[in-house]
Structure 1
Amino acid sequence: MRVEIWSDIVCPWCYLGKARFEAALASFEHRDEVEVTFRAFELDPSRDTVEPVQQLLAGRYGPEAVQMEERLAGLVAAEGLGYRVDREVGNTFDAHRLLHLAREQGVENEMVNALFTANFAEARPLFTGSTLLDVAAEAGLDRAAAERVLADPAAYAEAVREEEQEAARLGATGVPFFVLDRKFGVAGGQSVEVFTRALEQAWGQRAA
């Protein structure tokens, strides 16, 4: 069974949703027969600046932004993950391009984990080439290959855009967006129970 997950590395609900989905998958009877692939989705593809996330949220939501971040921090902590509010937000297109390289090199999940950890748990500046390359190497990517990708704006650019367009065709207006065997969709960072039911339902449809 194939599960595709559209997400962005600066999306806290994607970070949370991945952890909850993996908890559901870990207890799923047929987990060894589930292939998980991550797909590109940019929350703000036109962004060309880097700014503190609290500044961004305050500008959009006002004083409520602090409470939103505190609530998210609590939900993330409940999953055993780190969450720093002093992180930054910037353009994620290069990170998505490197994720395609990671898929080819067989370390896609490791790269997603490394990016999420670096961004949310460590508040590292992922929007500069040097830090992004460091994280890629830590995830197991060949650093020289990653450098070549970042040096070539066309590398994997079309592949990223195709995945984003596919998300739109499937009706995804936000992330995370989970698609199971192209038959069942789950939107948002749902509970472990919701993901468990989705896995069981999708598997049952295969067996029917």
Structure 2
Amino acid sequence: MTALSPSAAPDASAAPVRLRLDVWLDVACPWCVVGELRLARVLRSLPFADQVDLRFRSYQLQPDAPERSQVKQPEYLAGRGMDMARFRAAQQQLVAMGAEHGFHFDQDSAVPSNTRTAHRLIQAAGEAGVQREVVEALFAVYFADGRDVGDPEVLRTAVTAAGLPADVADRVLADPTAYRDAVADDISHAAQIGVSGVPFTVIDGRYGISGAQSEDMMRDAISTVYAELNPAPRVVPIGGVQTADDTACGPDGCSI
């Protein structure tokens, strides 16, 4: 960001500087669902929402997960050593948070398959201009519907219903190399900037927000950076600046 000199004022006629938001997430991350729901509500409330460029970035919490899982989420997590009491407590919390936004969490039915192909479809959706719709559809498939994101037919049905052209979906599903590098690049970039968990949001490439933060916190952070990029023009009072001897005329006449 280029700082204005003290004597310069922003050009009021110039187009606003757009704000970039990059959100790293995984389809298999319940807190990413909460974070996305909160962010969506925040963006709807902002007067400059149409000046925000949002991009969802790929991240895999379990890159070694099976392509097709044979167990449900609780059994899978228990097998990886998670405390089930902790899982149940988190589940209750997530159900309550999801309900605030009309989203139903059913982690008992979730199928923990590998999300790599889902991410490749999310990358394609970014180019097609329907990325948010596809991300939300995949969240619903995984956490609300208990369907297998490792199943190509499940993926195709979900993403095409969300607006991804069928021919694009078919191409991605038929070619395991399609958007593979884009997914890998996102994951690599996340490592470079120190991302160790998701959701992780980067505002204007400079400020990072870790986790599913409160709506107030996200709104304040996004608004602050947008204001930095688009400082309000200085307004000189109509009456001007009066000198010590008051040699000016006003509503009460002139001092002569």
TM-score by length of 2: 0.78
Alignment partner, residue 15 of structure 1: 33
Matches within 5 A, 1:114-129: 114-129=137-152
Distance of 1:56 and 1:72 partners within structure 2 = 18
Aligned to 2:74: 54
Q: Is the 8 A contact 2:25 2:32 kept in 1?
A: yes
**Alignment map for 1:131-150 (pairs within 5 Å):** 131-150=154-173
Amino acid aligned to 2:84: P
Aligned positions of 1:1-208 closer than 5 A: 1-48=19-66, 49-50=68-69, 51-59=71-79, 60-64=81-85, 65-85=87-107, 86-208=109-231
Question: Structure 2 CA distance, aligned partners of 1:63 and 1:135?
Answer: 30
Q: Which has the higher contact order (CA 8 A, sep 6+)?
A: 1
Equivalent residue number for residue 247 of structure 2? none
- Alpha-carbon RMSD across the aligned residues, in angstroms, is 1.3
Distance 1:63 1:153 in 2: 35
Gapped runs of 5+ residues in structure 2?
1-18, 232-256
CA separation in 2, counterparts of 1:102 and 1:62?
36
Gaps of 5+ in 1: none
1:87-137, Cα deviation, whole Å (9 max, x unpaired): 111100101111111112211111111111121222222211111111111
Same amino acid, percent of matched pairs: 34
Report the residue type matching 1:4 in the other structure: D
Residues 63 and 116 of structure 1, relative CA distance in 2, 3 Å threshold: closer
Q: Rg bigger for which structure? A: 2
C-alpha distance in 2, partners of 1:57/1:194? 31
Count the aligned residue pairs.
208
Instruction: Give per-residue Cα distances to partners, 1:165-184, cap 9 Å, x unaligned.
Output: 01111111000000110111
1:7 CA drift (Å): 0.3
